[in-house]
Amino acid sequence: MGAAADVDPAYLLDPEHRPKPATAVVHGLPVIDLAEALSSPTPADLSKTVSEIRDACRDWGFFQVVNHGVDSAVRERFEAAARQFFALPVEEKRKLRRVEMYPLGYYDVEHTKNVRDWKEVFDYSSTGLLEIPASDDPLDDALLKKINQWPENPPEFKEACEEYVRQTEKLAVKLVELISLSLGLGADRLKGFFEKETSFVRINHYPPCPEPHLALGVGRHTDAGAVTVLAQDDVGGLEVKRKADGEWIAVQPIPNGYIINIGNIMQVWSNAEYESPEHRAILNQEKDRISIPFFFNPAHYTMVEPLEELISDERPSKYKAYNWGKFFASRNRTNLQKLNVENIQIDHFKVAG
């Protein structure tokens, strides 16, 4: 175990969870072209795209999109600014250290399932303001409101981030409409849940790791929100657990494409018609990697439960209702420390039987 000495024990995974990068099957996932859906807004014209989305959500819960409407120059400018930010001295970055459980600002000690992730992150909310419960205690109804924190350098960072999220958010809204249609619902059925959204962008930076088979950039997890719109650079490292056989599949980067995945909330809304798959980010020995998820999340007070249209005698409700803000607060609290208990999961709200 000499090699493990190069990696701080906080990052070490149990042997059963260590990645085997060389053996992962590389796959592009279903690729969906959104050009038609973005240019012809009437539902009749959307049927082909909607059926592709239905198949991808059922079979994988993960897919890639191209011709998605996000301007590549906006994305490039934003990614360049992000790289400059992460290149700052750590003391500079830590001035923006995230406080309490708010996912806003800089962070470099996140844990997934109690093992430290080999990464640093910068989070900002899409609206500039994040309102979530002050604690995960169900009896505490206090709320906290936080605004985004911005670094002085690079000077264009704030504007590049804001411009980027404006475009990504439009894509997320469109995807939620298409997913609603794919579930047999009206395009606007889910719109109201996002009125006071708790969405945020996370910029993940994974430095090279001397022992990439002993640690992970992000450990296996499912995303807690409704839908994730993820940009990754050309290094690669995202792996998805394939529904069909439980194999870890390496997701091939598509230049300028986005990876879309179903989150826990959409799983529950769809009454498990769609599932949020486990995924993780593996590390690279030589290269840094950047990935940028946009987590599209509803208002904190949303009670998440299967949509009534998707419950029937044949398909009874599979989940008990839960409060999104409390779930989010619990996740955020436990991600910041190493604990000896499992963090909150939607399985805890599953109806028995």
Ligand X SMILES: O=C(O)CCC(=O)C(=O)O
Instruction: List contacts with ligand X (CB under 6 A).
Output: 202, 204, 217-218, 223, 232, 238, 279, 281, 291, 293
Nearer CB in complex with ligand X: 208/307 = 208
Q: How far is the CB of 237 from ligand X (least distance, A)?
A: 6
Residues that bind Fe ion (CB under 5 A): 223
Nearer CB in complex with ligand X: 158/241 = 241
291 interface partner picked from ligand X, Fe ion, none, CB below 5 to 8 A per type: ligand X
Q: How far is the CB of 87 from ligand X (least distance, A)?
A: 19
Q: Are strands 115-116 and 111-112 parallel, antiparallel or unpaired?
A: antiparallel
Nearer CB in complex with Fe ion: 263/298 = 263
Q: How far is the CB of 204 from ligand X (least distance, A)?
A: 5
Q: How far is the CB of 156 from ligand X (least distance, A)?
A: 24
For residue 121, count CB atoms less than 10 angstroms from its CB and return exposed for 0-12, middle for 13-18, buried for 19 or more: buried
Nearer CB in complex with ligand X: 103/306 = 103
Nearer CB in complex with ligand X: 82/281 = 281
**Half-sphere exposure in the Cβ direction for 127 (13 Å, CA):** 15
* Dihedral angle of Cα 264, 267, 268, 269, to the nearest 10 degrees: 120
Report the distance separating Cα 105 and Cα 204, nearest Å. Answer: 12
DSSP state letters, 35-49: HHHHH--SGGGGHHH
116 interface partner picked from ligand X, Fe ion, none, CB below 5 to 8 A per type: none
Q: Is 301 left (phi over 0), alpha (psi -120 to 50) or beta?
A: alpha
232 interface partner picked from Fe ion, ligand X, none, CB below 5 to 8 A per type: ligand X
Report the distance separating Cα 22 and Cα 282, nearest Å. Answer: 11
